[in-house]
Amino acid sequence: MLTSTMAVAQTTEEVVDMIVKEANENSHLEKLAHELLDVIGPRLVGTPHQLKAHNWAVDTFKEWGIEAEKQQFGEWRGWERGITHIDLTHPRTVTMEGMILAWSPGTKKNGVEAETVIIPEVENKEEFEAWLKNAKGKYVLVSMHQPTGRPDYNWEEFATEESFEKMKAERSAQAQAWRERINNTGYNSRTIIAALEEAGAVGIIQSRWSSGFGVNKIFSSSTQKIPTVDLSLEDYGLLYRLTEYGDKPKIHVNATSKELGKVETFNTIATIPGTEKPDEYIVLSAHFDSWDGGTGATDNGTGSITMMEAARILKKVYHNPKRTIIVGLWGSEEQGLNGSRAFVEDNPEVVENLQALFNQDNGTGRVVRLSGQGFLHSYEFLGRWLEAVPNDISRHIETTFPGTPGGGGSDYASFIAAGAPGFSLSSLSWSYWNYTWHTNRDTYDKIVFDDVRNNAILTAVLTYMASEDPETFPRDRAVLPINRRTGEQMTWPTPRSANRDGGN
């Protein structure tokens, strides 16, 4: 007897129900986050951790039956972070919170103990250069001393109105005075570091407060010869006051790092082949690299695991996608969208035949905004794709059609610049800008997994609908009206919740 296997047609409702069920009852998000953030850690471009993350992602995709590979797109300065220990040794002993910046050199073996000095108040460059001999053998404090370590929302809740206004005026005046102090040296915030190095300073001490409790922005070093240390606001303030009052504080810094020469940089590309239209594509997009003050949890671990989880779910429940689904985990976004820009340049066939790209890169919150990015027919296509998204997820989303072109500093900009339909799944803040974006507090515990699970469902459903759509997304761009008062292009807001649900 002959037998045959026939694919059973599935309705949209059935597929969406399976996506939701798999996402909620068999979620891999917590495990993925643990492996990526706790075990591998931060993914600064050019570091062994970044390479380890790409290898892990390739292996994970393959475990799910999804073909994946690392694709080299360039080279970067290889660097590896070691330990950073900072201790106040005089006039009392305090272990301080801080670390050297990315790509900073370390200290000499066993560390260096020295007094601290502050950038002086001078009238001109000649006066500053005469002062520079005082920096020799010292750690130099180069950041403004903040008048408060409390975020504004704390002042708003507890301070009198007069006290709050007084503090803000004081902070503004101090910031202006500090800018003038730097300007009067004849250098800017970067070139002054080179002058201090040349003068024989043993290290640079800074503090870049993010305006939240216990949070600092941690970026890269502009120095090549001596370590640059970022201290917490609290410890920097202590050190500044001790120095300013003439208590002659000393700190001991023991920091290590390794220069690794030029190393290869990668994107991780995973592919689920299409059946009916294999030469048309949907791309699930997130940058995989991070800064390394924290572990890059919300920038952009959450976006990365969202796209990985969406791909895992689709592989399991959507067996024959019409179009090819690509997951792009981009390298070196933080240095200028390097990975996604290289992919666009190297893969013109994907760009030319892109049905849609969905990018997530602004924190752990549920998606609440979706713009048509200036595409004239975005309302028609994104509107019907969104119709399939469960209401408890879609009701949070405000849409703007056709919207305005732009990339917001993330990887979908690389595709929009090439004329391809890329869209940002923009999420609720959860104090992203103050507490986790590029900070030392961007860690696993800041993830709101219920929101990330919603985002994985949203991404999977939008991808399924875009893949099944019998029509190809047209590339006509909207010509938007100009605001005569400001000279800027105007948007045409169309909140989806109002269109379908009668408001929230």
DSSP H or E stretch at residue 486: none
User: Looking at the structure, do residues 296 and 226 belong to the same domain, yes or no?
Assistant: no
Output the pLDDT for position 488. 54
Query: How far is it, in rounded angstroms, from Cα 196 to Cα 475?
Result: 53
Query: How far is it, in rounded angstroms, from Cα 386 to Cα 463?
Result: 10
User: Looking at the structure, do residues 306 and 439 belong to the same domain, yes or no?
Assistant: yes
User: Looking at the structure, do residues 244 and 287 belong to the same domain, yes or no?
Assistant: no
CA 118 from centre of chain:
32
Query: How far is it, in rounded angstroms, from Cα 67 to Cα 280?
Result: 17
Output the pLDDT for position 478. 80
Domain count of the fold of the chain: 2
User: Looking at the structure, do residues 304 and 214 belong to the same domain, yes or no?
Assistant: no
Q: Which residues of the chain have pLDDT under 70?
A: 1-9, 407, 479-504
Give the end of a domain, one of 208, 225, 257. Answer: 257
CA 44 from centre of chain:
11
pLDDT in tens, 138-174: 999 999 999 999 999 999 999 999 999 999 999 999 9
Q: Please answer whether residues 324 and 315 qualify as being in contact, where contact means their C-beta atoms are separated by less than 8 angstroms.
A: no
Q: Which residues pair with 398 in a beta bridge?
A: 369
CATH number at residue 172: 3.50.30.30
Does residue 291 sit in helix, strand or coil? Answer: coil
Residue 307 identity (one-letter amino acid)? M
Identify whether 266 is part of a domain: no
Helix/strand number for the chain, H first, E second: 16, 15
Q: Cite the DSSP H helix spans in 208-358.
A: 233-244, 302-317, 338-346, 348-352
Identify whether 71 is part of a domain: no
Q: How far is CA 103 from CA 44, 207, 316, 381, in A?
A: 10, 17, 41, 45
User: Looking at the structure, do residues 152 and 239 belong to the same domain, yes or no?
Assistant: yes
The 398-400 sheet, strands edge to edge: 398-400, 367-371, 426-427
Q: Please answer whether residues 212 and 434 qualify as being in contact, where contact means their C-beta atoms are separated by less than 8 angstroms.
A: yes
Identify whether 209 is part of a domain: yes
pLDDT in tens, 82-128: 999 999 999 999 999 999 999 999 999 999 999 999 999 999 999 99
Residue (of 212, 154, 152, 102) closest to 446 by Cα position: 212
Q: How far is CA 191 from CA 198, 221, 424, 489, in A?
A: 11, 12, 37, 38
User: Looking at the structure, do residues 355 and 468 belong to the same domain, yes or no?
Assistant: yes
Tokens at 479, concatenated? 């010509």
Give me the DSSP letters along 308-346. HHHHHHHHHH--S-SEEEEEEEES-GGGTSHHHHHHHHH
User: Looking at the structure, do residues 317 and 210 belong to the same domain, yes or no?
Assistant: no
Q: Which residues pair with 470 in a beta bridge?
A: none
Q: Please answer whether residues 70 and 265 qualify as being in contact, where contact means their C-beta atoms are separated by less than 8 angstroms.
A: no
Output the pLDDT for position 494. 33
Q: How far is CA 53 from CA 286, 291, 436, in A?
A: 14, 14, 20
Give the end of a domain, one of 257, 286, 312. Answer: 257
Identify whether 291 is part of a domain: yes
Identify whether 138 is part of a domain: yes
CATH number at residue 348: 3.40.630.10
User: Looking at the structure, do residues 316 and 433 belong to the same domain, yes or no?
Assistant: yes
Residue 176 identity (one-letter amino acid)? Q
CA 375 from centre of chain:
26
Identify whether 245 is part of a domain: yes
Residues 6+ apart with CB under 8 A from 73: 265, 266, 267, 331, 338, 339, 342, 343, 346
Give the end of a domain, one of 203, 229, 257. Answer: 257
Output the pLDDT for position 407. 62
User: Looking at the structure, do residues 353 and 286 belong to the same domain, yes or no?
Assistant: yes
Tokens at 504, concatenated? 């929230």
Q: What percent of the chain has pLDDT over 70?
A: 93
From the number of C-beta atoms within 10 Å of its C-beta (0-12, 13-18, 19+), residue 91 rates as exposed
From the number of C-beta atoms within 10 Å of its C-beta (0-12, 13-18, 19+), residue 471 rates as exposed
User: Looking at the structure, do residues 163 and 312 belong to the same domain, yes or no?
Assistant: no
Inter-helix orientation angle 302-317/449-468, to 10°: 50
Output the pLDDT for position 212. 96
User: Looking at the structure, do residues 204 and 303 belong to the same domain, yes or no?
Assistant: no
CB neighbour burial string for 286-310, b if at least 16 within 10 angstroms, e if fewer: bbbbbbbbbbbbbbbbbbbbbbbbb
Q: Which long-range contacts (CB under 8 A, 24 or more apart) does 273-278 make?
A: 273/321, 273/324, 274/321, 274/322, 274/323, 274/324, 274/325, 274/467, 275/320, 275/321, 275/322, 276/322, 276/323, 277/322, 277/323, 277/324, 278/323, 278/324
The residue segments making up the domain with residue 115 are: 82-257
Please give the model's pTM, rounded to 2 decimal places.
0.92
Identify whether 45 is part of a domain: no
Output the pLDDT for position 9. 65
Q: Please answer whether residues 147 and 176 qualify as being in contact, where contact means their C-beta atoms are separated by less than 8 angstroms.
A: no
Identify whether 53 is part of a domain: no
Tokens at 373, concatenated? 């990015």
User: Looking at the structure, do residues 360 and 481 belong to the same domain, yes or no?
Assistant: yes
